[in-house]
Structure 1
Amino acid sequence: MKTFELVAPCHFGLEAVTKKEVIDLGYDITTVTDGRVGFIGDADAICRANIFMRTPERILLKVGSFKAETWEELFQATKKLPWEEYIPVDGSFWVTKASSVKSKLFSTRDIQSIMKKAMVARLGEHFGISQFEEHGAKYPVRVFAYKDEFTVCLDTSGESLHKRGYRLKQGLAPITETLAAALLMQSGWNRDHALVDPMCGSGTFVIEAAMMAANIAPGMDRAFISETWTNFIDKKLWYNAFDEANEMVDNQLLETGMTAEGKKIDIQGYDINPDVIPVARENAERAGVDKIIHLQVRDLADFSHSGKAGYIITNPPYGERIEDKRNLPMLYTELKEAYQSLDSWAMHVITAWEDSEKYLGKADKNRKIYNGMMKTYFYSYTGRMTNQNKPHDFGKKA
């Protein structure tokens, strides 16, 4: 079967987690750059990567790359790409997004327009027509320009992969599903340990954790734009990948809350806001994991847990509104006290508040993570864990 170079855009600072996901799926890595992991895969890989990967924003198919410093060079280089190998005569195609960093060609609107014209010229010559009705399957193109080097890709996902389909409602400052999954993997948590988010909001961390625990593929209940690309992706490949995802689900765990070994899953989410817990419950129900998550209205100051070992992972407020900043020192102090009241636990906190360590204490690890354009910090506290309960490799499967 023909192979392609695929690209998995991910959050800056968490490329290693996405790389591990690709390797676990059985594909060979080609490149790892800031916010992007490249790998080789066939049409089946397009289906499986979209359905099974938890951390990328989307899966892209690389059509080609080139250097262009003038508009004419951009037109001619785009025209040389083998568009007819991917887009049929009735296909609908456009440059849905272009980005340009440190490049002479910086007008993204002009990049989009000129590349579309070049695609029309190439496909027109190949199919022997001058106009395209574009009433068939959709083939969106994404372009990245960095220092005059252009990378041109087809977007196989359509809607971003963080849109799992379960979060129809959300809190004031939600964390995306892909970032939550990546941070859970980075933390080292697996279902053998308790997990608590004491400021859970709409429940993204605990829902993603429960889906991981039950082996629910994040894309198994949604559609992808490339499902209609039957000119080079056989529909059977999608059916097979969805069947594979369904067979992997741990239905016993979802029904009983117990693993096959008889261990009870302990995943809990609390929030002081009584309005968000019903939202979290609705989201958990849509995700199919409501029976294995305990959600409760509870003040952080009342936090407690009797478990010997576990993980706190949370996305606390960080002063999005000026009036909230006055409350942050007390809030982060309460979080520190909650953690110190536990036995052999780890705590992982993502926040944009730069004074966090003044009140949480110095972290064992501090990783910069870019959440969109916002710089955040992922603080890891593992010093209270015993040697037996040190974090597992972040890629270890439940």
Structure 2
Amino acid sequence: MRLIVTCAFGLEAVVKRELQALGFSGFSGADGRIEFPASVNDIPRINLWLRAADRVLLKLAEFPAADFDQLFDNTNRIPWENWIPREARITVLAKCVRSQLASERSCQSITKKAVVNRLLDHLRVRDLPETGEEYTIQASIIKDVAQITLDTTGPGLHKRGYRKDTGEAPLRENLAAALVLLSFYRPERLLLDPMCGSGTILIEAAMLARNIAPGLKRSFASESWAKVPAEAWEEARASARQAIIKEGELSIQGSDIDPARIEDAKANARRAGVGEDITFEVKDLKDLWIDKPSGIVISNPPYGIHVGSLKELTPLYVLLHKMFKNKDGWSLYILTADQRFPDFFKRARPDKVRKLFNGPIEAHYYQYYGKPPSPRG
């Protein structure tokens, strides 16, 4: 069997490295989709451990679909009875890109009709009550080729289960994890977010440092599937709990001018199991004093399009420049939708700029590398 892991554009290499660390290879796929061979018993482990991905899909078929007859007939040939029980609630999502079949609503309807007809015939029943667990089918039709998948994840992987109040302009958890994975952060380094909001970046960094599986506190759609052994889920969760690193201290600090956001951050960190690993405090950026020779800043300044005008963000950029212009031992990683940022942070040109997406919002990740820390710290 083959799985497809989806992710935001720009994060494919990050997710591939995560999958390689889990022991997978043989990758293929287009933008935002990574396909690879796996077994049904791998589904729990992949869902539990991926930090930067969106979903894990089970690929059931790929075929030409230039018209509705092709879509119906080929979808009807899939052995749905092997995966979907009679009482399942069936949801179909369709996406059509550069294809003759352009109506997503029509493709959803045709796909579901093909699935239902197949189940009625092979289960030898007259109706499907649709009173049980939800099974989500995705029909992705790109350039007249349909890819039919079954969603093993349920709510997106960014929903870890620890964040209750996101405040304004929330940064998705999987993107926050990707920001950390794209940095040179290591558990022995000092990590700072001086505009931490509800603490998502720092919480994801602490979970990474403690080797806490991001999906450990949530459930997944495929946990109810008869085809995925319950023992596989039990073993994957037990292994993840045993893998947590409890020893050693972390130097992770976050501050924000808003007391309510800091209270949210503390509560989120406690729910994530890293409440003792992060120091949060209410502090204006202009009052922050940097007295360490080296460290790492990973931050997502408030998006102007959500929080205020771009002019309101300019003082933040100027302050960051003043704070770090002579701190060449510090590495800075700044995600912002404002492309003016390098005009104000003039310590050097960014070493790397990546285009990333926080949901529908296009942003740039500006990476400034500091000098490596001395052996003494």
Residue 320 to residue 169, structure 1, CA distance change in 2 (3 Å): same
Amino acid of the structure 1 residue aligned with 2:253: Q
* 1:117 equivalent in structure 2: 113
> Quick check: 1:265 aligned with 2:250?
yes
Q: Is contact 1:29–1:37 with CA below 8 Å preserved after alignment?
A: no
* 1:234 equivalent in structure 2: 229
* 1:385 equivalent in structure 2: 371
What's the CA shift for 1:76?
1.2
Quick one: distance in 2 between partners of 1:385 and 1:360?
Answer: 17
Quick one: distance in 2 between partners of 1:44 and 1:190?
Answer: 31
- Decide which of 155, 180, 183 is 1:187's aligned counterpart: 183
What's the CA shift for 1:387?
7.7
User: C-alpha offsets along residues 331-385 of structure 1, whole Å, 9 cap, x if unaligned?
Assistant: 1111122222435111001111121111123311111112222221010001x32
What's the CA shift for 1:234?
0.9
Quick one: distance in 1 between partners of 2:211 and 2:306?
Answer: 38
> Quick check: 1:91 aligned with 2:77?
no
- Decide which of 70, 76, 83 is 2:73's aligned counterpart: 76
* 1:12 equivalent in structure 2: 9
Quick one: distance in 2 between partners of 1:381 and 1:185?
Answer: 15
What's the CA shift for 1:94?
2.4
What's the CA shift for 1:322?
8.3
Quick one: distance in 2 between partners of 1:125 and 1:373?
Answer: 41
* 2:150 equivalent in structure 1: 154
Q: Is contact 2:294–2:373 with CA below 8 Å preserved after alignment?
A: no
Task: Give the 4+ runs in structure 1 shifted more than 6 A.
Answer: none
Equivalent residue runs for 1:275-314 within 5 Å: 275-314=260-299
What's the CA shift for 1:243?
0.2
User: C-alpha offsets along residues 48-80 of structure 1, whole Å, 9 cap, x if unaligned?
Assistant: 011111111111111111121212221112112
Residue 300 to residue 68, structure 1, CA distance change in 2 (3 Å): same
TM norm structure 2: 0.94
* 1:370 equivalent in structure 2: 357
Q: Name which of structure 1's ranges 320-329 and 55-64 shifts more when overlaid on structure 2.
A: 320-329
Quick one: distance in 1 between partners of 2:20 and 2:51?
Answer: 13
Quick one: distance in 2 between partners of 1:358 and 1:351?
Answer: 13
What's the CA shift for 1:285?
0.9
Quick one: distance in 2 between partners of 1:311 and 1:80?
Answer: 54
Q: How many residues align?
A: 373
Q: Is contact 1:19–1:29 with CA below 8 Å preserved after alignment?
A: no
> Quick check: 1:64 aligned with 2:61?
yes
Corresponding residue SS for 2:258: coil
What's the C-alpha RMSD, in Å, of the aligned pairs? 1.7
Quick one: distance in 2 between partners of 1:269 and 1:85?
Answer: 49
What's the CA shift for 1:215?
1.1
Residue 195 to residue 73, structure 1, CA distance change in 2 (3 Å): same
Residue 116 to residue 321, structure 1, CA distance change in 2 (3 Å): closer
* 1:395 equivalent in structure 2: none
Quick one: distance in 2 between partners of 1:77 and 1:283?
Answer: 46
What are structure 1's unaligned runs of at least 5 residues? Answer: 253-258, 390-398
What's the CA shift for 1:330?
1.7
Q: Is contact 1:7–1:36 with CA below 8 Å preserved after alignment?
A: yes
Quick one: distance in 2 between partners of 1:172 and 1:136?
Answer: 36
Quick one: distance in 2 between partners of 1:25 and 1:73?
Answer: 37
User: C-alpha offsets along residues 244-280 of structure 1, whole Å, 9 cap, x if unaligned?
Assistant: 011011233xxxxxx1xxxx31001111122211111
* 1:325 equivalent in structure 2: 310
* 2:319 equivalent in structure 1: 334
User: C-alpha offsets along residues 292-341 of structure 1, whole Å, 9 cap, x if unaligned?
Assistant: 10001111122233333221000012311585322222211111222224
Q: Is contact 2:111–2:139 with CA below 8 Å preserved after alignment?
A: no
Residue 30 to residue 316, structure 1, CA distance change in 2 (3 Å): same
Quick one: distance in 1 between partners of 2:284 and 2:256?
Answer: 6
Quick one: distance in 1 between partners of 2:274 and 2:308?
Answer: 36
> Quick check: 1:43 aligned with 2:40?
yes
Amino acid of the structure 2 residue aligned with 1:371: N
Corresponding residue SS for 2:59: strand
Q: Is contact 2:75–2:111 with CA below 8 Å preserved after alignment?
A: yes
Quick one: distance in 1 between partners of 2:306 and 2:67?
Answer: 44
- Decide which of 227, 238, 262 is 1:243's aligned counterpart: 238
Q: Is contact 1:304–1:341 with CA below 8 Å preserved after alignment?
A: no
Q: Is contact 1:162–1:177 with CA below 8 Å preserved after alignment?
A: yes
> Quick check: 1:173 aligned with 2:173?
no
Q: Name which of structure 1's ranges 308-317 and 172-181 shifts more when overlaid on structure 2.
A: 308-317
> Quick check: 1:130 aligned with 2:130?
no
TM norm structure 1: 0.90
Corresponding residue SS for 2:136: strand
What are structure 2's unaligned runs of at least 5 residues? Answer: none
* 2:19 equivalent in structure 1: 22
Q: Name which of structure 1's ranges 362-371 and 131-140 shifts more when overlaid on structure 2.
A: 131-140
